[in-house]
Amino acid sequence: MTTNQLSDSRFRAVCSSAGRVLGPTAPRGRRGGNDVKKSALILSALFFSCVQTFAAASIRAVATTSTLANLLEEVGGEKFEIHYVAPPKRDVHFISPTPKDVLKVKKAEIFIHNGLDLEVWRDPLLIAAGNPNFLGNAGRSIDLSRGISLVGIPAAVSRAEGDIHLFGNPHFWMDPENAEVMAKTLAEGLANLYPAEADTFKRRAEEFNARLDRKLKEWLERMAPYKSAAVIVQHRSWPYFMNRFGLIIAGEIELRPGIPSTAKHLAGLIQIAKEKNVRAVIREPFNEGKTSKKLSGETGIPVVTLVQSVGADVESADYISMIERNIRALEAGVE
């Protein structure tokens, strides 16, 4: 259930009115009895519909990204009214939460996030919202990095190395096996908060994971012809995806994470492309395109655009279709 729906306050007002009319002040009397009975039946139906609706839905949730919002939809179903913060067509590292985001967090009952330091804006957002459910040791936030085997943990920290992630590479959701772990973690976290629905969350997570596992087997078969193919990526956001599907990252267009390429660095990439038989240059829609285009022009290697967020384009309506879209792009683009 998304936030684009009938205003919660308006709906509650209608239900409240029905409840008051059906209460001690409900009309009584002999005259017009049939009309009174008909009105009472209509109001009763409305009132009990409201009761069922509140019992089944309207837990306000905020997720930091559209991908996590989709996982919550898969595991939680219609019980949650979900708002996500990071626009899917933007770089999640560099977004600025809006006043609307602050208000949504302020009113939320549960907060889902990627963990680590992917969302550098997460703590300022929570502080601005001031929701006690998510501050300090309050337990209504669910960190979906729990249980993930991380890569890229730096041996030392230096600003000279660019925008490195202190706790490891946070783009772990791009490995479908990690997405299965995340769904299970989410189901367990929701069960702790809403124990009466624990079996439902567990069942839905298992159903999602079963669908994803079937697709993963298919994707691995389709990517088998490209095993050990070398690629150059724009940003250090693809190790989990490439490791899962057997591709090798031979270089990065950025000089260091978050630091643009230089002429010298680009010349080195051209040499790497020739020596290692690089078969694709990988970029995301929001990356600057000039450098990848120049690299492609110098080497003849195709540029393949992949996405990392549900909703980044029309082909990526949910997690499974997002990965499917990337697999198709690689099949079409890798030479």
The string of DSSP codes covering 129-175 is HT-GGGSTT-S-EEETTTT-------SS--GGG-S--TTS---GGGS
- pLDDT confidence of residue 25: 43
Average confidence (pLDDT) over 128-137: 93
Q: Is the pLDDT confidence value at 77 over 50?
A: yes
For 334, the token pair is 């890798």
- pLDDT confidence of residue 167: 77
Q: Is the pLDDT confidence value at 5 over 60?
A: no
Residue 132: pLDDT band (50, 70, 90) is very high
Residue 14: pLDDT band (50, 70, 90) is very low
- pLDDT confidence of residue 154: 79
The reported pTM is: 0.83
Residue 208 located in a structural domain: no
| Residues facing residue 143 across a β-bridge | 113
Residue 158 located in a structural domain: no
Residue 275 located in a structural domain: yes
Residue 304 located in a structural domain: yes
Share the mean pLDDT of the chain.
Answer: 87
CATH code of the domain in which 305 resides: 3.40.50.1980
Nearest Cα residue to 333 out of 277, 281, 285 = 281
Q: Write out pLDDT tens, residues 78-92.
A: 999 999 999 999 999
Q: How far is CA 109 from CA 42, 58, 104, 315, in A?
A: 32, 10, 10, 31
Average confidence (pLDDT) over 43-63: 63
**Domain of 21?**
8-56
Which of 56, 71, 93 is the last residue before a domain boundary? 56
The Cα 238–Cα 172 span in angstroms is 9
Which of 16, 39, 56 is the last residue before a domain boundary? 56
Total structural domains within the chain: 2
Residue 145 located in a structural domain: no
Residue 312 located in a structural domain: yes
Residue 319 located in a structural domain: yes
When comparing pLDDT for 12 and 226, which is higher?
226
Residue 48: pLDDT band (50, 70, 90) is low
Residue 307: pLDDT band (50, 70, 90) is very high
Residue 309 located in a structural domain: yes
Contact 178, 216 (CB under 8 A): no
- pLDDT confidence of residue 138: 82
Which of 56, 76, 95 is the last residue before a domain boundary? 56
User: Among the listed ranges 17-21, 59-63, 117-121, 296-300, which one has the minimum average pLDDT value?
Assistant: 17-21
User: Among the listed ranges 16-20, 41-45, 95-99, 115-119, which one has the minimum average pLDDT value?
Assistant: 16-20
Could you count the other beta carbons within 10 Å of the beta carbon of residue 120?
13
Average confidence (pLDDT) over 127-136: 95
